[in-house]
Chain A
Amino acid sequence: MGNNRLFETATLTSSGRPVFLPNEVECQLLSNVDLEAEEESSSLFSLQSGLLILTTHRLLWFSSSSSSSAAPPVSASIPLASITHIFSPKKSIKSIFTSHRIRFQVTATDSRSVVIKVVVRGKVDWDGFLGNVWDCWRGRAWESFDTSERPCASGGLYGTDGSVRMVGVAGILRKEQEMWETTDKSLQDAFQDLNALMSKAKEMVMLAEKMRQKLLSGSSTQTSSTNEDEIGSKEEMHDWLLSVGIVSPVTKESVGALYHQQLLRQLADFVRNPLERAGGMINLIDIYCLFNRARGTELISPDDLMQACSLWQKFDVPVMLRKFDSGVMVIQNKSHSDEEIFNRIRAVVKKSEALRAGISASDAAITIGIAPAMAKEYLLSAESKGLLCRDISPDGFRFYINLFPNIDSLDVYLEMRASSKKWPLMVEQKWWRGGGQS
C-alpha cells in the first residue's frame, strides 16, 4: 500500500456514495478491485480490494474500509480525460484462470506518464465492463457538457438535497441508464429461468435417450409375431417425442423435426435451376456448395443436407437423392430417366472411333453433355447392365461396347495379320448388318 500522490482523492457523500461532477453519470460499479500504478516496471503505489466506479467522467476507487480500520478511507479519482491510451488486454489461456486486468496510460497530476493497472477479482461481466470503459472514454462526456448545461440552482445531476434530478440531457442519460439497468435485471431473471429450463431440458434429453435405447434394443430382440405391437408403440413414441420438440432418435424411420421438413422443401425448390443447368443430375457436394453460398448466412451442415435429401422420398417433391454403387451421391429429377442417357451412350460407342479405341469418362462427358464425374457413373451403370465392358490398360480406363454376348466362341476365325486393326470394322459389318445388335 503506497500513498497516492499521483491522483486526486474522491469525495464521498455522507452515505458513502461518491460525489459526482456536474453531468457525470455512473456507468458501472465493481467490487474487489486492485488499483496499481507502475512507472517503468516499478510500482508506485498499489491500492487493494476496493470499490471501482466507472463514470462518464472518471474512474473512482474507494477502499472498502471496515469500521474498525484506523486508517482513513483511501480513494483515487482518475479523470478519463487523463487517459492517453488503453492497452488491449492480452487474451491467453492464463487469463481465463487469473483475475481480469486492464491497463491504461495516464497523465498524473504532476504531469508524469504512468501506467495504471486495474485488477478485478471474482466473477464479473468483464467484456461488458471493457465495453463501458471504452464507451465512456471515447464518449468524452467531460468535453461536451462542460460549458453547455447550466441548470438552475446547483446545476448538475444532484439537487441540493442530494437526490438525483432528472433534468436536461443529464436526466435523459440517467433515464437511459436506469432503463438499461432494469433491462439488465430482467434479463438476469430471464436467464435464471432459462437456466432452470436448461436443467429440465437435460432431464428431457436423458429421458429421450432412455427411450431411444429401449426402442433400439426392443426392435432387435423382438420376434416377428410381436412386431406389429412394437411398431405401433414405436410410432406413438416418435409422435410424442416430436411433439415435445425433440427430433426422433431413430432418425431413419421418422420424419424428423420441423426444421428438416422446411429445409427439404426449400432445398427442393432451390435445386431445380442447378439441375437444369447440369443436365438433370448434379453431385450432392456441388449442391451443398451452391445452396450454402446462396443462403449467405445460417449455413446448413452436410448432415442436415443429407437428412433433408433423404427425407425427400417421404414428401411429394419432384427431386430425389440417388446413390451409385461407387458411393457417389447425386440429386436428380424424379422424371429423369437413365434410359435416355444409355441410348446416348449406345450411340456414341457404336461410332467407328469408339469401336476401335473405346471411350473414356471424359469423352463421354463431352459427347453426351454431362459432368465427367456423372459420366463415369453412367458408364459404370451401363457396364453393369451389360451394355458396355471395360478395358483397363496403361492408356487408362476405357469402355467399349459389350461384344461378348455376340461372340460365338471360337467358331469364327481370322487369320492373324499384321493389320488386324481392321477387325473392329469387320465386326461392325458383321454384327450391325446382322440386324441391329444392341
Chain B
Amino acid sequence: MQKLGDYKLPQFFNYPPYFTLQPVRDTREKQVQLWKEMIVDYCRTQKIFVIGLEDDFPLFSNPVIQRFLSHEAREVFLSALVSDGRAEWLDKGHRKCLILWHRIQDWAEIVLQFVKDNGLEDSVMTVEEIRSGIESRGTELHGVDRTVLMRALKLLENKGKLAIFKGTSADDEGVKFSV
C-alpha cells in the first residue's frame, strides 16, 4: 500500500466515480475543483513541487477501492491547475508539471519577509543558502524548488529589490539584496 505520510485523505477519495472523468458538465466541474484543491493541498503539506504525469503520484491511485486516474484525467486536472495559474507545464509534451501551491508572487513575498526577519536588507547571499542555509530552517523557503525560487528572485529583481549575479563558483548564483 502506498504511503501517504501524515496526509489526511478526504472522504471522497474512496468514492469510485471520483477516479472516472465525468462527462456531464456540472459533475465534471465539481470533480475538477475537488481534484485541484486536493492536489494543491497535498503538494503544500508534502512540499512537492513537481508532478510527473507518468509517475506513481500517490494521489492518482487508490488501491483500497482499486481505482486510478487515467492519463487523460490526470492531464485534465493538472491543466485546470495551469489555467488557474497554480501550476505550469515544464515541457511541451505535458509530462511534467510544476505545482505552485504558492504563487510566484507569494514566494517573492516570503523571500522579502525572510530578508526582513533575518536583517539581510543589504547583504549578499547565494541562492543555495537561501533555500538550504541555517536561516531558512523552519521557514517555507527551506527545500524550496530551485526553479521556483529563481523565478521569485527574478520577480524581485525586476522590482529592484535585489540583484542576481553570477557567483565565484560555477554552480551557484548570488543575490544582493537592496530591500
Contact = CB atoms under 8 A, between A and B. Distances in A.
A410 B36 CA distance: 11
Contact of A410 (B19, B37, B67): B37
Given A389-B17, A416-B4, A420-B64, A404 B30 contact: yes
Interface in B9-38: 9-17, 19-20, 22-24, 26-27, 30-31, 33-34, 37-38
A404 B12 CA distance: 9
Contact of B8 (A383, A400, A415): A415
Interface in A362-413: 383-384, 386, 389-395, 398, 400, 402-405, 407, 409-410, 412-413
A393 B66 contact: yes
B26 A386 contact: yes
- The interface residues of chain A, by DSSP majority, are classed as mixed
B140 interface: no
A358 interface: yes
Given A389-B27, A405-B30, A414 B8 contact: yes
Nearest to B12: A407
Nearest to A392: B20
A416 B30 CA distance: 22
A225 to B, nearest CB: 38
Contacts of A389: 17, 20, 22, 24, 27
Nearest to A411: B10
Question: How big is chain B's contact interface, by range?
Answer: 20 to 34
Nearest to A413: B8
A364 to B, nearest CB: 16
B16 A358 contact: yes
Interface string B40-70: 0100000000000000000000001111000
Contacts of B16: 358, 391, 393, 398, 400
B69 to A, nearest CB: 11
A398 B34 CA distance: 21
A412 B67 CA distance: 21
A383 B28 CA distance: 11
B14 A404 contact: no
B15 to A, nearest CB: 6
A414 B11 contact: yes
Nearest to A430: B11
B175 to A, nearest CB: 36
Contact of B9 (A358, A383, A405, A414): A414
13 contacts: A389-B27, A391-B19, A403-B15, A404-B31, A410-B34, A412-B10, A413-B8, A413-B11, A414-B10, A416-B8, A418-B64, A421-B14, A426-B11
Given A358-B16, A404-B27, 17 more contacts: A358-B17, A383-B27, A386-B26, A389-B22, A389-B27, A391-B67, A393-B19, A400-B15, A407-B34, A409-B34, A410-B10, A412-B11, A416-B7, A420-B64, A420-B65, A421-B14, A427-B15
